[in-house]
Amino acid sequence: MPYDDVTLSYIALWMFVLGGGLLWAVMHLKRNSRIQQTSRDCDLFQDRLRNIMQYSRELLFRFDLTSKKFDYLSPSCLSLTGYTAEEIKEMGPQEVLRHLHPDDQEKVRLLAAKLAKKNDEREWLGPVDYRFCHLDGQYRSFSDHLHVLYDKSGQPVSISGSIRDVTQITRLEESMRMLEKKFQDSQKMAGLGLLASGIAHDFNNLMTVVLGNAELALMECGGSDGGVLDEVKKTALRAAELANQMLVYTGKSTLVRGSLNMGAVVKEMTSLLDVSISKKVSIEYCLADNIPLIRGDISQIRQVAMNLITNASEAIGDRPGVIAISIRGVDLGSGEIEQTIPPGGLPAGRYVLLEVSDTGAGMTEETRQRIFDPLFTTKITGRGLGLASLLNVVMRHNGAVAVDSNVGTGTVFHVYFPAEVDPATLASEEARVENGEWRGYGTVLVADDESAIRDIAKALLERFGFRVITASDGLEAVNVYTENAGDITLLLMDLNMPRLNGIEAILRIRHINPKVPVLFMSGYPREQVMSQFGHHPHTNFVRKPFQSGELLSGIRSVMEGHCD
C-alpha cells in the first residue's frame, strides 16, 4: 500500500543515518589502516636506523651543555674507543678530555672556549682533529665534525657530531710526508753529488801535484827523514781524504776495507788534532789495551773521529773545556742498546766503542733529533754535511750511533763498529809487488789535460826506468799511439779530458792493440772507471792523489797481467 509523506520521511532519515554510519565505518577503517601502516613504517625505519647505527664505523653523539652530559652515544663507541657508551657517559667531559693526547688537549680547550662565547649565529659547523687514548693504551687519530646549537640569546645549548677513526689515513699521510722528505733529500744529494764530484776531481788533481813533488823531493833527499817533507806528504794525503769525504757523503765512493785498530788510527791523528781545535780545549785519551780490530776503510774511519772531535771543539767554543776520547771493546746482548741511529738497536755481539764527550753547551731534544738530517746545522757558517756524512760512513760499516746530550752539561757520542771476526792480516800492495826491487822498461804514454800532473808523472816514471811521452787530451793520445804503436808499452790515462775522455780514447786504441796495458788515474771512484772493462787482465786503476809506490804497483799489475 502506498506510504504517506511522514513514513517516507522516516524512511529517508533512516537511510541517511545508515549511509552516514557506513561512510563513517569505511573512513574509520581506512584511518586505522593508515595508522597501522604508518606504525609499521616507523618500526621498519627504526629497525633500519638501528641497523645503520649498530654497524656504522662512525660514532654519533649529542652532548647537552646544560646538564653537562651525553644524551646519546651510538653503539660504535665501543669499537672506536674501547669503552661502552655507558662508561663514556660516566666519565664526564673532563675525564674524556684527559684521554686526549697531551699535545691535543690545549687545542680542544681553546676550541671549547671559543664556542662558549656568545655569537650572532645560531649554530656552528666545523671539524676538529685529535688523538684519543683507546682502552688498549694506544692513541687513535679521530676526526670530529661538530654541530653546535645556540639558543636565542647566543648561548650554546648542545653539541652533536660524528667522529671518524682516521688513524690509517694519518699513518698513510705521515708515510707520504716521509717519502716526500726522502725524495727531497735524494734530490739534494743528487745535486750535491754532482758538485762534490767536480770539486773532488779538481782538488785531487791539485793534491796529486803537491804529493808528487813532495815524493820527488824526498827521493832527492834519500828518502823519509821525519822532517818537513814528510809532514807535507801526510798533510796532502789528509787533504785528499777530505775530498773523499764529500764523495762518501753523496754515496759516490766505495769502501776500501782492511783490518784496523781504532786506537792506532786516533793516535796517528794527534798532531793533526792539535791544529784543528781551539787552544783552550784539552783532549783526554782513554784507550783500552787489546782493542779488537774492525774491518773498514781507514780514511773514512779517520774522518768519523775527526768530525766528532771538531764538532766537540765547536760545541765548547771559545771557553776552556775538555774533550774526552775513549775507545774500548764491548760485548752487547740482544736489545741492550736500543736508542740508536739508525733505529732498531744493535744485535748481540762484539763491538768497538768510540766515545767522544765534550763539556760544551749541550743540545735540546729538538736539535738532537735533527743533527743527522742532511743540510741541518746550528752553525752560522755550517753546511750540515759533517754528521750526515758521519752517519753515512757508520751505516756503511754496519755500525750505529747513540747520542746523549743535555743543555748545559755537554754531549756524548757513542759510535759502535762491529769487531772483526778472525781478521786476516792483509799485506800492503806496496809490499806485494816489492817496489824497491822492480824496475820499469819501455815507453809510457801519459795523457792528462793538466800539465802539472803530466810533468809529475813523467818525472816519477823516468825514475822508475821508463821513457815517457805525453798527450794533453784523449784525441791527441789516440793520434800519438797510432804513430808510435810499436814503441809504446803502457798507457797512463786520466779519465776526464777534452775532445775524448780516457775511456773513449782507450776503446779506440784497443781496436789497434787489444792487449795494450792501461792504467787509469782519476779522483773518481774505481767502479765508475772499471765498469767498462770488466776483469781485463791488463787494465787497472790508481786513485788520485797517488803515492809513488801506488803508481808503480799499478803499473806492474797491468804489465804483468795480474790485476785484481
CA distance 552 to 555: 5
257-426 fold: Heat Shock Protein 90 (3.30.565)
Q: Please, what's the b/e burial string for 396-416 (b: 16 or more CB within 10 A of its CB; e: otherwise)? A: bbebbbbbbbeeeebbbbbbb
Provide CATH code, domain 432-560.
3.40.50.2300
Are 95 and 122 contacting, i.e. CB atoms less than 8 angstroms apart? no
pLDDT at 431: 43
Flag residues of the chain having pLDDT under 50.
Answer: 380-385, 423-436
Q: Would you list the DSSP string of 50-98?
A: HHHHHH-SSEEEEEETTTTEEEEE-TTHHHHHSS-HHHHHHHHHHHHHH
pLDDT at 314: 84
Rg (CA), the chain: 42
Pick the closest to residue 493 from 529, 459, 527 (CA basis): 529
Q: What is the dihedral of CA 523, 527, 532, 538, to 10 degrees?
A: 80
Domain residue spans of the chain: 1-55, 59-165, 186-253, 257-426, 432-560
pLDDT at 300: 80
**467 φ/ψ angles, rounded to the nearest 5 degrees:** -95, 140
pLDDT at 326: 92
**Burial environment of residue 117 by CB neighbours within 10 A (0 to 12, 13 to 18, 19 or more):** exposed
Judged by DSSP in three states, 305 sits in: helix
Are 331 and 353 contacting, i.e. CB atoms less than 8 angstroms apart? no
Pick the closest to residue 557 from 500, 527, 512, 518 (CA basis): 518
For CA atoms 278, 284, 285, 286, the dihedral sign is: negative
Note the residue count of the chain. Answer: 564
Pick the closest to residue 158 from 169, 147, 170, 174 (CA basis): 147
Q: Which three cell numbers stand for residue 336?
A: 741492550
pLDDT at 468: 92
Q: Would you list the DSSP string of 510-538?
A: HHH-TT--EEEEESS-HHHHHTTTTT-TT
pLDDT at 327: 92
The domain at 59-165 falls in which architecture?
Answer: 2-Layer Sandwich (3.30)
pLDDT at 256: 59
